[in-house]
Structure 1
Amino acid sequence: MGDWENIFKFVSQLTINTIEDLGFQKPTPVQDACVPLLMSYKDVAAEAVTGSGKTLAFLVPVFELLSKSDMVWKRNEVGALIISPTRELAQQIYSVAEIFLKHFPNLSASIFTGGKSTKNANVKGEIFGNIVIGTPGRLEALFEQKFEGVELARCVKSLEILVLDEADRLLDMGFEASINTILSYIPKQRRTGLFSATQTDEVEKLIRAGLRNPVRVTIKEKSSRQAVSDEMLDIQRTPASLKNYFMIVKAEHKLDQLVYFIKSHKKQKILVFLSTCAGIYCIHGKMKNRKKVIERFRMQGGGVLVCTDVMARGIDIPNINWVIQYDPPTSATAFPQEQEFVDFIRVNQRVPLHPMEPLPTSNTCIQEVQTMAINDRAVFEKGMRAFVSFVQSYAKHENYMIFQMKNLDFGSLATGFGLIKFPKMPETKGKDISNFCEVAISVKDIQYIDKSLEKKRQEQLKSESSRRNNVDMKRKRHQKTESWSGKKDQKDRKRKRREVKEKKRLQPVVERDNGEDLLSLDEDIRMIKKLKKKKISKEQFDAEFSLDCDELSS
């Protein structure tokens, strides 16, 4: 199929105006290959690079299959389920689906991404649309519990097609359990389309578990021999029109290079990726207003959007001039930073990379950041959190053979973050930080510029000081009482020991004297009894007693 009119002949109700609304003029290879396969009721596992047009590759068949079905789709009857890794990508898919819905008034769509559902405005009162788009966690929750009195598990009994968009990303983000739960609720007699940028072992497992005899579609970009080494295949995983660069700089100069680069491209659109949300203010997974920020960035002619890898895949923002991977990427499938990782990406991921020389900067950004940290506690705390978060992310990197903690220069790294004090954390215990120069200032003296925050901090300091004083006073009283009580107990113990010792000393003498007296008395009584019974004579009795008297007198 050579053009859009041929590929869209499957969609009888779709006009050429809709194609123009979508902003496309001809089908891409992944669309050309996948649309006919899904339309002929085959399962498809497609691998294509980001930006290859996968969204239309599954939305066209979704609308055609549902519109041509013998079923009359009722309220809350789900015919298509599309699972996306992030709310931004789900919202983007829903936006494209809305253009199709203008030409299919008998169909409806809804989106579920963790908050309240967004329903097709043309279908008042819908809970679940005929096409449901959502993120795995939200959809799993809807399957396992009632939602406004309607169970999603009952609504998918007539499901025609399941789409797993950016499947490798779904698994990288830890949604495997949620996907398995969703698969357990939906009918096995269905069409399934799985789309991903890479075919990992985890994706292969998902293909075997969720697809039946799928047709595999692999769309690769061809590159010139000059972009790759002679040992490499003449195929790359990124679009041929995309040129990738890398720059090798010292840790303490990274920030200066970034700022200078941005200043040098003021009128262009730039995306900057950091490893964790602690290092940024703009776009990351904990934000609730990400959609508004992205839409605002889309509308602007130039600007900088700083984000984490929540924006790393599938989001369509037109006219992006530069994408900068500032920190080492969390996945080997993203863009590189360390020199060894550049070689790994070039060979293993088949991404051609070109060196870029460091820019002539004045290296003053670090001093400016340190001055800001001294004058504002918010900046000081932000820098400390960013450094700690970066080190922890680095320690857990999947490519630990390249990103090794023992090779990190923690002193230079802390300097590069504009820190004025080195934070205490387990990962840096015993590490050499001789390259780091702390600023001679007491941390307690650093105040917030925000008066309300500083007032709150001062109150907390007073409360903490008061609590500490109370604890110290209680400890002193306890020690004093314990000391007096201890001395008293010691005296009592000594007295008791003396009494016991004295008793033991006197006891043998008393027992010996009493014993002899008792023996003498018994003998006298025995002699008296003998005299009364006439067993002895009076002369014998007197002789016995006279002997005792003589002994006593002597």
Structure 2
Amino acid sequence: MEHVTEGSWETLPVPLHPRVLGVLRDLGFPYMTPVQSAAIPLFLKNKDVAAEAVTGSGKTLAFVIPILEILLRREEKLKKSQVGAIIITPTRELAIQIDEVLSHFTRPFPQFSQILWIGGRNPGEDVARFKQQGGNIVVATPGRLEDMFRRKAEGLDLASCVKSLDVLVLDEADRLLDMGFEASINTILEFLPKQRRTGLFSATQTQEVESLVRAGLRNPVRVSVREKGVAASSTQKTPSRLENYYMVCKADEKFNQLVHFLRNRKQEKHLVFFSTCACVEYYGKALEALVKGTEVMCIHGKMKYKRDKIFTGFRGLQSGILVCTDVMARGIDIPEVDWVSQYDPPSNASAFVHRCGRTARIGHGGSALVFLLPMEESYVNFLAINQKCPLQEMSLQKSTADVLPRLRAMALADRAVFEKGMRAFVSHVQAYAKHECSLIFRLKDLDFAALARGFALLRMPKMPELRGKQFADFVPVDINTDTIPFKDKMREKQRQKLLEQQRKEKTENEGRRKFIKNKAWSKQKAKKKKKKKMNDKRKREEGSDIEDEDMEELLNDTRLLKKFKKGKITEEEFEKGLLTSGKKLVKAADSRIADL
């Protein structure tokens, strides 16, 4: 498709409703972005659209406005229980965000009801809300929407409600498939009418997305949009206003560098990405204690009920720090994020671009920084080639305070911090081992001692990856870590109760074993004598051909074979051993023949 530039809303071939234009002016969107200029006219001409555009380019309005316009133009008005449009998106945060944007446009049109179906909420309440207020426009995550189609027993026949469907939108389609929602999407498509408009929006085009295009869209118009000012030959995947940096530092210096970086930018808004939920829990707690004078929040995929509140709260802040996993990497639009810091590089290169895209959105500037270990520096060239994402180096910050002793002191004072640190370290190592770019991120080259110091651990955890290794450069604390108490008195009381129960059980078991042993010793000895007599008698009666000497030689042969299989002896030594054993057997046989 030819290059599309920004344009005025009034220049669209199909004029927008005056109230829609009014909302756009109120929200501060006087012009269309390229993806909006390309996709909206196609939607309004009843075309299926498969759009690919860089993150932060305004894709949400590119489908929200056409949905509203198509429903306004319906000849037969929608009833309360009829669904006219469905928007499917991979995460609940993105669904909340789309629902919020949509609400600005439906407010002037009370004839339309909208409903949000996402995980972490009571599905029974979702059913009751739909039956009470309806849902002409549904914004949902795939799992919850699929679940709603199966709730006929609760009086919801969603399959009948969607027969009036005009528009289906799959937002962040590549992520929908990456997160394993393909089966859910296919199930949902089976319930939907074939006569509909479908929009598929994605930041990256993958083979899986192409398969979904073929399955869900009829003769789609493909739109691939570049930002204004980007050359036609360019394949740049990050916003042009984004400044991308990297910093190389050792594993035991990285957290000090992060804290110093955040302390010097307290008045700005930050997203800090970690590789695992456990790392978010641990380092979020640490940053909360070490970076004073600014709000620190944490969000990750294992949170069930707090995520919505945290996400909404952070969006409303002027400045602050959100410590998060890749659950916040795609499609999320948090106003005016100044910095995206990647403490851990993501497991795949495309996620790197999406993380960076949380800043420098829709005309605003922004910066991103990734921390790399010295052995990971070649990742910079990899990103430049693989993702067309050039980075410039940021020098190590000087005069950084060493906050790791403070973090260790926190772990010594509170078992919750100690346990979070251990879990974080284990999860980080396991995630590192699964990195997509294993030629650069090599687990065998990782300095575990320096990494443990960087996590401010009190001792090394027991895990398969560390088995058999020595860590001379790591000095554990000189205390029994089992004695570290929880600061929370209720948790500590429960722990002590459990420890006392375990001690009691151990004492009882030891006493039982000792009692049985002392009582049964003489009986066991008598039993052994009795068993030996019976064996001797059976040998005499059956005329066993195997004498004690022969049995000993057979056992020796078995031992030799085991040693040979384990590589403890050579083939020559094995054969020599067998030969010696054979000679002994022959000699013993000759002796028995002579006796006869």
**Aligned partner of residue 251 in structure 1, secondary structure:** coil
* Counterpart in the other structure of 2:284: none
**Aligned partner of residue 14 in structure 1, secondary structure:** helix
Aligned partners of 1:466 and 1:139: how far apart in 2? 51
**Aligned partner of residue 65 in structure 2, secondary structure:** helix
**Greater relative contact order (Cα 8 A, min sep 6): structure 1 or 2?**
2
Aligned mate of 1:166, from 169, 172, 179? 172
Aligned partners of 1:116 and 1:498: how far apart in 2? 74
Aligned mate of 1:297, from 307, 314, 325? 314
Q: Which shifted more, 48-57 or 394-403? A: 394-403
Cα distance change on mapping 1:220 and 1:118 into 2, 3 Å: farther
Q: Give the CA deviation at 1:3.
A: 0.5
Q: Are 1:489 and 2:527 an aligned pair?
A: yes
TM-score by length of 1: 0.84
Aligned partners of 1:86 and 1:418: how far apart in 2? 33
Q: Which shifted more, 82-91 or 202-211? A: 202-211
Using the aligned pairs only, state the percent identity: 51
**Aligned partner of residue 108 in structure 2, secondary structure:** coil
Deviations for 1:481-516, whole angstroms, at most 9, x for unmatched residues?
442322222444577789999999xxxxxxxxxxxx
* Counterpart in the other structure of 1:242: 242
**Aligned partner of residue 456 in structure 1, secondary structure:** helix
Asked if the contact 1:111–1:134 (Cα under 8 Å) also holds between the matched residues in 2, the reply is yes
* Counterpart in the other structure of 2:259: 259
Aligned partners of 2:76 and 2:269: how far apart in 1? 46
RMSD: 2.7
Letter in 2 for 1:216: R
Letter in 2 for 1:203: V
Q: Are 1:149 and 2:155 an aligned pair?
A: yes
Q: Are 1:215 and 2:231 an aligned pair?
A: no
Letter in 2 for 1:266: K
**Aligned partner of residue 456 in structure 2, secondary structure:** coil
Q: Are 1:285 and 2:301 an aligned pair?
A: yes
Asked if the contact 1:110–1:132 (Cα under 8 Å) also holds between the matched residues in 2, the reply is yes
Aligned partners of 2:274 and 2:189: how far apart in 1? 34
Q: Which shifted more, 201-210 or 32-41? A: 201-210
* Counterpart in the other structure of 1:520: none
Letter in 2 for 1:450: D
Letter in 2 for 1:32: S
- The within-5 A match list for 1:464-483 is 464-483=502-521
- The within-5 A match list for 1:367-386 is 367-386=405-424
- The within-5 A match list for 1:364-513 is 364-431=402-469, 433-493=471-531
- The within-5 A match list for 1:114-193 is 114=119, 115-116=121-122, 126=132, 128-146=134-152, 148-193=154-199
Q: Are 1:327 and 2:344 an aligned pair?
A: yes
**Aligned partner of residue 473 in structure 1, secondary structure:** helix
Choose 1 or 2 for highest CA Rg.
Answer: 1
Q: Are 1:12 and 2:22 an aligned pair?
A: no
Q: Give the CA deviation at 1:12.
A: 2.1
**Aligned partner of residue 422 in structure 1, secondary structure:** coil
Aligned partners of 1:501 and 1:409: how far apart in 2? 62
* Counterpart in the other structure of 1:518: none
Letter in 2 for 1:419: L
Q: Which shifted more, 17-26 or 41-50? A: 17-26
Moved over 6 A (4+): 117-120, 222-225, 494-504
Aligned residues: 496
Cα distance change on mapping 1:304 and 1:462 into 2, 3 Å: same
Cα distance change on mapping 1:309 and 1:420 into 2, 3 Å: same
Aligned partners of 2:534 and 2:230: how far apart in 1? 100
Asked if the contact 1:80–1:160 (Cα under 8 Å) also holds between the matched residues in 2, the reply is yes
Asked if the contact 1:45–1:193 (Cα under 8 Å) also holds between the matched residues in 2, the reply is yes
Asked if the contact 1:222–1:235 (Cα under 8 Å) also holds between the matched residues in 2, the reply is no
Aligned partners of 1:503 and 1:347: how far apart in 2? 83
Q: Give the CA deviation at 1:370.
A: 1.2
Asked if the contact 2:81–2:131 (Cα under 8 Å) also holds between the matched residues in 1, the reply is no
Q: Give the CA deviation at 1:479.
A: 2.5
Aligned partners of 1:132 and 1:117: how far apart in 2? 14
Cα distance change on mapping 1:153 and 1:398 into 2, 3 Å: farther
* Counterpart in the other structure of 1:536: none
TM-score by length of 2: 0.78
Deviations for 1:289-331, whole angstroms, at most 9, x for unmatched residues?
2222222222222111111111111122112110101112122
Letter in 1 for 2:398: P
Aligned partners of 1:19 and 1:354: how far apart in 2? 37
Asked if the contact 1:411–1:432 (Cα under 8 Å) also holds between the matched residues in 2, the reply is no
